[in-house]
Chains A and B, each alone.
Chain A
Amino acid sequence: MPATDLSTLHGAGARASLLRGARLGMPIFLGYLPIGMAFGIAAIALGFTVAQASGCSALVIAGAGQFIAVETLRGGGGLAAALIATGVVNLRYVLFSATMSPRLHEYPRWQQFLLAFTLTDETFALNISDAREGKADAYSMLGVGAISWLGWTLGTTIGGLAGSAIGDPRAWGVDFAMPAMFTALLVGQVTGRRELVAAALAAVLALGLTLVLPGEWAVITAAVGTATVMTAVRP
């Protein structure tokens, strides 16, 4: 998809696009709110203040990466161990960032920075699907990023303030919110035979790899392996 020419996107157009992105990102907001709450609760239990827990989410915006850092600290690991743990878990962002890059080449640096700052599994998947349909532009992607950031940070603050008084957010069925969104995204991505073959291969490979690798690594290894095989066998 050619990147939208931003010189035509100002004022009302940009605002409409930003709002469209925020609406598109609502499933992520709904999914992040309770996971953010769970992170807030975990961080408070470790001795973070509410400001520290919220600041962490607002500045880092990395679900698994934040949980693993908190776990490392709780286990007695120091600052360096926590940073290495979060870095390793979030290495996949390098791949997502590289995958997004050809679509962002006409955008100014500040927009690239904000899009990179809000790049997560979910915003990546949603924005790249939207871009494939030719609907995404810089502002819609920033809208997706903003609403996702808000859900994650707000959730953490609520979790930090309410603590364990709110109980386990999983009781509301929210632990299916992100799998549900990814299911819908996957249906949208499988547009032909080649995508179907790639999806099937990646699924089988990922499931097999979960026997020997942690979940995040199984996913990324399966994706890299499948993309390599598909690129190699394409006539």
Chain B
Amino acid sequence: MSAAVVWGVIGGMALTNILMRGVPILLLSRLKLPTIMERWLGYIPVCVMSAIVATSVLRPGGAWLSPLHNPYLLAAVPTAVVYRFSKSFLGATVAGVVAFLALRYLLG
């Protein structure tokens, strides 16, 4: 692949991404959104996070794992508990990874 093609792809991707990420912020942040729209957008974060967690722990890598043999699902429990009591994202993430490694080792 020629250097020109590679840099063309990179430049095009950079432009595509900044437009998709930037245009809504630049346009909408200057407007007062209707209440119903703000309410709708207010639900987006919790829904996105829940959908990501559900798919990434129950279908890691895109395939179902049996719940009792699924280190992703089981490690999510101590992760949630550590966050609940520590309120630390870093602490919960590190605890989660350690639990995941231990569970993956134990489950073979």
Contact = CB atoms under 8 A, between A and B. Distances in A.
A206 B59 CA distance: 11
Given A206-B51, A207-B59, A129 B45 contact: yes
B interface: dominant SS:
helix
A124 B41 CA distance: 13
B50 A202 contact: yes
Interface residues of A, number: 99
Interface in B20-48: 20-30, 33, 36, 38-41, 43-48
B79 A210 contact: no
Contacts of A117: 18, 21-22
B17 A86 contact: yes
B10 A174 contact: no
Contacts of A49: 3
A98 interface: yes
A126 B13 CA distance: 24
Interface in A124-143: 124-126, 128-129, 132
Contacts of A62: 13, 17
Interface string A207-227: 100100001001110111011
A97 B80 CA distance: 27
Contact of A99 (B14, B41, B82, B89): B41
Contacts of B26: 109, 112-113, 116
Given A102-B38, A104-B29, A219-B48, A97 B21 contact: yes
Contacts of A79: 5, 8-9, 12
A117 B75 CA distance: 32
A119 B83 CA distance: 24
B44 A60 contact: no
A46 B21 contact: no
A65 B13 CA distance: 8
Greatest chain B CB density within 10 A among A30, A73, A101, A226 is at A101
B97 interface: yes
A14 interface: no
A183 B79 contact: yes
B29 A182 contact: no
A62 B13 CA distance: 9
Interface in A65-96: 65-66, 69, 73, 79, 82-83, 86-87, 90-91, 93-96
A59 interface: yes
Interface string B43-75: 111111111111111111010000000011001
A121 B52 contact: yes
B1 A73 contact: yes
A76 to B, nearest CB: 11
Contacts of B87: 188
Given A107-B29, A206-B54, A231-B40, 7 more contacts: A82-B12, A117-B18, A177-B93, A177-B97, A181-B93, A200-B50, A231-B36
Closest 3 CB pairs of A and B: A180-B96, A206-B51, A203-B54
13 contacts: A27-B93, A27-B94, A65-B13, A82-B12, A83-B16, A96-B48, A102-B28, A175-B60, A180-B79, A184-B80, A189-B50, A205-B51, A231-B39
